[in-house]
Amino acid sequence: MDGGRPLMSPRAKVPLIVFFVLMLHTTVFGLIHIDHVRPDALLLLTVLAGLIGGQQAGTLVGFVAGLLADLTLQTPFGLSALVLTITGYSCGTLRTALVRTSWWLVPVTALMASAGSVIAFVLLGGLVGQSQLLRPGPVHMLTVAGLVGLMNAVLAPAIYPLVRWSFAPTKAERAYAVR
């Protein structure tokens, strides 16, 4: 306890946030849709984890979130995990390249990374024999990618503080790092 508040390590907070976002993804976000396309909360969590926690955090959260997403999809197990792992690593790499951040960085990154991840999912799915992902055509793929990216960009500022909190070290961890 620190001043009446319990110390909670990111090791405990991050899994709670992943579980919470999974519940949001399968319940609340399942009700939000534009032309039968809904936001991807697990993808958004991965993007934000990479932006906030860096390459290692983005990769780890992306892999776990991808495995959880694979449990809800009828595509080959591991396809979402692969795409989200690459996305988390890429967003973490972007974080290391940034000198300063701006208010618009989070939604723009969510838009671009989400759209790119949807396209990567479809193309990699086609490579592993999921031809139904490619059948609607490139215009449909780009439309879906754009809609997912746009919805994730709108939701990113609302989810960002939650993810930032989950990666914040406790006072004891900060004090130990200084010594």
State the CATH number of the domain containing residue 91.
Answer: 1.10.1760.20
pLDDT of res. 170:
64
pLDDT of residue 7 exceeding 80: no
Tens of pLDDT along 121-147? Answer: 999 999 999 988 888 999 999 999 999
Tens of pLDDT along 26-83? Answer: 999 888 889 999 999 999 999 999 999 999 999 999 999 999 999 988 889 999 999 9
β partners of residue 5: 2
In a domain, 102, yes or no: yes
Q: How many residues does the chain have?
A: 179
pLDDT band at 155 (very low <50, low <70, confident <90, very high): very high
Total structural domains in the chain? 1
Would you say the pTM of this structure is higher than 0.85?
A: yes
Enclosing domain of residue 67 = 10-163
In a domain, 173, yes or no: no
In a domain, 149, yes or no: yes
In a domain, 177, yes or no: no
In a domain, 175, yes or no: no
- Please give the radius of gyration of the chain, using alpha carbons only, rounded to the nearest integer: 17
Alpha helices per DSSP H over the chain: 10-26, 28-31, 41-53, 55-70, 79-97, 105-127, 138-167, 171-178
In a domain, 1, yes or no: no
